[in-house]
Amino acid sequence: MAYDSTAPNRHGPVRDWAADWDGLDDDWGRRAPEIWQDLRASGCPMAFTERYGRAWMPLHHETVSQIAHDTEHFSSFRVSVSLPDSPVRKAPPITSDPPEHHAHRRLLLPPFNAARIAALVQPTREYCRSLIAGLDGRDLADAAKDYAQHIPVHVIAEMIGVPESDAEVFRDWVHRNFQEAPRDNAAKLQLQKEMVAYFEALLAERAADPRDDLATLVGGAEVDGAPLSLDEQVGYLILLILAGIDTTWSGIGSGLWHFAQHPEQRRRLAAASFDDPLWIMAMEEVLRFYAPVTMARQVVADTEVAGCPVHKGDQVLLTFPAANRDPAEFDRAGEFVLDRAVNRHAAFGLGIHRCLGSNLARMELLVAFQEWISAFPDYHLDEGDRGVTTWANGQVRGPRAIPVRLR
């Protein structure tokens, strides 16, 4: 039967996660780890849906890893599970496959290397302190809205060379891109039009007046001896702004939500000096346990995964967060172990597309946790009349409101 995106109830509430999963279902944001756990326990190797055409969802580390490493059968040209006839745009390196991928990735490696990110620690620390100073005298706060959401925008805006005063514009793009566009082609086209216009104007400004930022780097870049097309330049910048914001915002928020409910872990951290390895272990465990990012692939040649035949044209969600809680891969997989010593998690992906911003993301999470927990060692969740924690669903999952009492 031909796919019909207007069929009634195509996006109604999910009742069967094994045969009709949907990452945009209201339950996903709040409960995705439980959903994966229940599916694994039921013996399901991969969940399936026809809400976006045919799309699969693996549940085990081994399967996620197999797909992420197999660029012959699985292409990155579409990295979000979306309607089969949805418009796709190039956003290298994430949307490129071998052999082109390598050169696109190489272009972006230097600005995200460890030395360049180390230079951002102190400014990021000072920025976090300024946000905390803004809460002076308050007993109540929202750890997502007053803190987590601002840090990644502040850092990536400066790196790319866009004004931080456009933060609301960028957060609106992120919301529409991950939560509306996958099931609405017109919304996706409109968003793409706005992002393209914004970055074409920025690239024109930098061509006339170069600066030391990523917009200037991308505007003047060559790949394999040829200049990038304007379309590719815009694609790079769209990727950097989208990948740089809600991923890290979700990671910081998830950690703050977790520590708000675990006083004994919070107190251990508050008592540790900033160079104590406990901080790094805690940050890595937040990434494992609350990994915010899932990405998609499109099947380009028929093959078999976990005993399921997958066909050319099918989509697959790469559930790195589900892989991170697979008991076949991790001891005490379903438990948050603050001082987990060996932690080879897949939060930043597996294979050639492994996160290029991982040094930056780790630095932001670490500094954000250190500053918040030292300032508010007794903060705790304060859900009730003032509201509850709300979660973004879709391919980047994390808390968007976290009501807390600061002392």
Residue 357 interacts with ligand HEM (CB under 6 A): yes or no: yes
Output the CA–CA distances (angstroms, integers) from residue 368 to 130, 165, 198, 249, in the order listed: 12, 21, 29, 10
Using CA of residue 7, residue 50, residue 9, residue 172, what is the dihedral sign?
negative
Query: Which position among 182, 219, 235, 244 is part of the footprint of ligand HEM (CB under 6 A)?
Result: 244
Residue 198 interacts with ligand HEM (CB under 6 A): yes or no: no
The tokens 């780097």 sit on which residue? 217
The Cα–Cα gap between 342 and 354 comes to 19
Q: Which of 355, 395, 357, 350 is nearest to 71 (CA)?
A: 350
Residue 188 — φ and ψ, nearest 5°?
Answer: -65, -45
Query: Which position among 63, 76, 233, 393 is part of the footprint of ligand HEM (CB under 6 A)?
Result: 76
**In the complex, which residue's CB is closest to ligand HEM?**
357
Residue 83 interacts with ligand HEM (CB under 6 A): yes or no: no
Query: Which position among 251, 394, 399, 403 is part of the footprint of ligand HEM (CB under 6 A)?
Result: 251
The Cα–Cα gap between 51 and 150 comes to 34
The tokens 């793409």 sit on which residue? 192
Of 79 and 375, CB closest to ligand HEM:
79
Residue 292 interacts with ligand HEM (CB under 6 A): yes or no: yes
Stretch that binds ligand HEM, among 171-179, 227-235, 240-248, 372-380 (CB under 6 A): 240-248
CB of 172 to ligand HEM, least distance (A): 18
CB of 349 to ligand HEM, least distance (A): 3
Beta strands in 138-267 (DSSP E): 140-142, 222-223, 226-227
Query: Which position among 56, 127, 348, 379 is part of the footprint of ligand HEM (CB under 6 A)?
Result: 348
Residue 296 — φ and ψ, nearest 5°?
Answer: -115, 160
164, 260 contact by CB (below 8 A): no
Stretch that binds ligand HEM, among 31-39, 169-177, 236-244, 274-282 (CB under 6 A): 236-244
325, 36 contact by CB (below 8 A): yes
Of 293 and 373, CB closest to ligand HEM:
293
Query: Which position among 295, 333, 375, 402 is part of the footprint of ligand HEM (CB under 6 A)?
Result: 295
Element (H, E) at 46: strand 46-49
The tokens 């409101």 sit on which residue? 401
Residue 347 interacts with ligand HEM (CB under 6 A): yes or no: yes
13, 26 contact by CB (below 8 A): yes
Of 266 and 345, CB closest to ligand HEM:
345
Of 47 and 94, CB closest to ligand HEM:
94
Of 361 and 373, CB closest to ligand HEM:
361
Of 174 and 356, CB closest to ligand HEM:
356
Residue 235 interacts with ligand HEM (CB under 6 A): yes or no: no
Q: Put the strands of the sheet holding 380-381 in their side by side order.
A: 140-142, 403-405, 380-381
Of 93 and 235, CB closest to ligand HEM:
93
Q: Which residues of 293-320 are buried (b: 16+ CB within 10 A; e: fewer)?
A: bbbbbbbbeebebbeeebeeebbbbbbb
Q: Which two tokens stand for residue 391?
A: 């979660």
The Cα–Cα gap between 181 and 176 comes to 6
Which residues in the 358-397 window bind ligand HEM by CB under 6 A? 360-361
Q: Which of 395, 158, 224 is nearest to 296 (CA)?
A: 395
Query: Which position among 46, 64, 67, 243 is part of the footprint of ligand HEM (CB under 6 A)?
Result: 243
Which residues in the 92-111 window bind ligand HEM by CB under 6 A? 93-94, 105
Residue 240 interacts with ligand HEM (CB under 6 A): yes or no: yes
Residue 349 interacts with ligand HEM (CB under 6 A): yes or no: yes
Residue 254 interacts with ligand HEM (CB under 6 A): yes or no: no
Stretch that binds ligand HEM, among 222-230, 241-249, 255-263, 303-311 (CB under 6 A): 241-249
CB of 128 to ligand HEM, least distance (A): 15
Query: Which position among 66, 82, 248, 303 is part of the footprint of ligand HEM (CB under 6 A)?
Result: 248
Q: How many residues interact with ligand HEM (rule CB under 6 A)? A: 29
Output the CA–CA distances (angstroms, integers) from residue 24 to 3, 42, 145, 311, 382, in the order listed: 19, 22, 22, 23, 27
Q: Which two tokens stand for residue 328?
A: 């076949």
Interface with ligand HEM (CB under 6 A) = 68, 76, 79, 93-94, 105, 156, 239-240, 243-244, 247-248, 251, 291-293, 295, 318, 320, 347-349, 353, 355-357, 360-361
